[in-house]
Amino acid sequence: EVQLVESGGGSVQSGGSLRLSCTASGFTVDDADMGWYRQAPGSKCEVASVIRSGGSTYYTDSVKGRFTLSRDNAKNTVYLQMNSLKPEDTAMYYCAADSWVPPMGWAVPSRYNYWGQGTQVTVSS
């Protein structure tokens, strides 16, 4: 059974940092395309960052230079290091995974079949 468990969310002040973790079971993270998505109240779910099975990473423009996605194969976990956080980063963050996502679909939530329960990130000004 595929399972994704996120952790690491919390409340920080603007400019602060958090590291989110997504631990997978039922598959190996280096054999899957995985992404971090976020959804603020009243807003659509949007991609923050994706790592493909081959190791390539992608970031949406609003987080480039501030967020770093990495993978620890030994722990079967992916991480999202978030620095210089802004109030607009406030959202529920979800980990998503699938065995393969088309290159042009990396930012499309419906391309991922497996999702975690989410972890809340709140950034105050």
Q: What is the pLDDT along the chain (125 residues), one digit of tens a residue?
A: 999 999 999 999 999 999 999 999 999 999 999 999 999 999 999 999 999 999 999 999 999 999 999 999 999 999 999 999 999 999 999 999 998 988 888 889 999 999 999 999 999 99
Q: What is the pLDDT of residue 106?
A: 87
Pairing between strand 119-124 and 10-13? parallel
Q: What angle do CA 97, 102, 103 make, to 5 degrees?
A: 105
CA–CA gap between residue 57 and residue 72 (Å, rounded): 14
Largest pairwise CA distance in the chain: 41
Compute the residue count for the chain: 125
Q: What is the pLDDT of residue 105?
A: 87
Token reading at 9: 């969310």
Q: What is the pLDDT of residue 26?
A: 96
DSSP for 62-80, written as a single string: GGTTTEEEEEETTTTEEEE
